[in-house]
C-alpha cells in the first residue's frame, strides 16, 4: 500500500501559467522523491501599467512517501 503526501507550492513566471506550473514541478522534483501528480488549485496575475507582469499559480504536488 502506498502512502502519499500533498504539499502546496506557489510559483510564478513572466511567460505563462503553464511555465509557472512546470517550474513548480521541476523544483519539487529536485528535492522530493516519487512525485506522482500536480494539480493547479489557483491562477492569478500581477499587473503593471495595464499589462500582465507575472503569472502565478498555486500547485498541489503529490508524492509517495517511502
* pLDDT tens-digit map of 6-64: 999 999 999 999 999 999 999 999 999 999 999 999 999 999 999 999 999 999 999 99
What are the residue ranges of helices labelled H in 1-66? 17-31
Domain count, the chain: 1
- Cα gap 63→57, rounded to integer Å: 19
Q: Does the structure show a pLDDT above 90 at 1?
A: no
Cell numbers found for residue 2:
502506498
CATH number of the domain bearing residue 39:
3.30.1660.10
pLDDT at 15: 98
In angstroms, the Cα distances linking 31 to 1, 27, 56 are 23, 7, 21
Cβ(21)–Cβ(61) under 8 Å?
A: no
Q: Which domain holds residue 49?
A: 3-65
SS3 at position 35: strand
Amino acid at each position: 500500500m502506498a502512502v502519499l503526501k500533498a504539499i502546496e507550492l506557489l510559483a510564478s513566471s513572466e511567460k505563462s501559467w503553464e511555465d509557472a506550473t512546470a517550474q513548480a514541478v521541476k523544483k519539487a522534483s529536485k528535492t522530493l522523491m516519487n512525485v506522482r501528480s500536480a494539480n493547479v488549485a489557483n491562477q492569478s496575475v500581477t499587473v503593471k501599467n495595464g499589462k500582465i507582469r507575472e503569472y502565478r499559480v498555486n500547485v498541489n504536488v503529490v508524492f509517495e512517501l517511502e
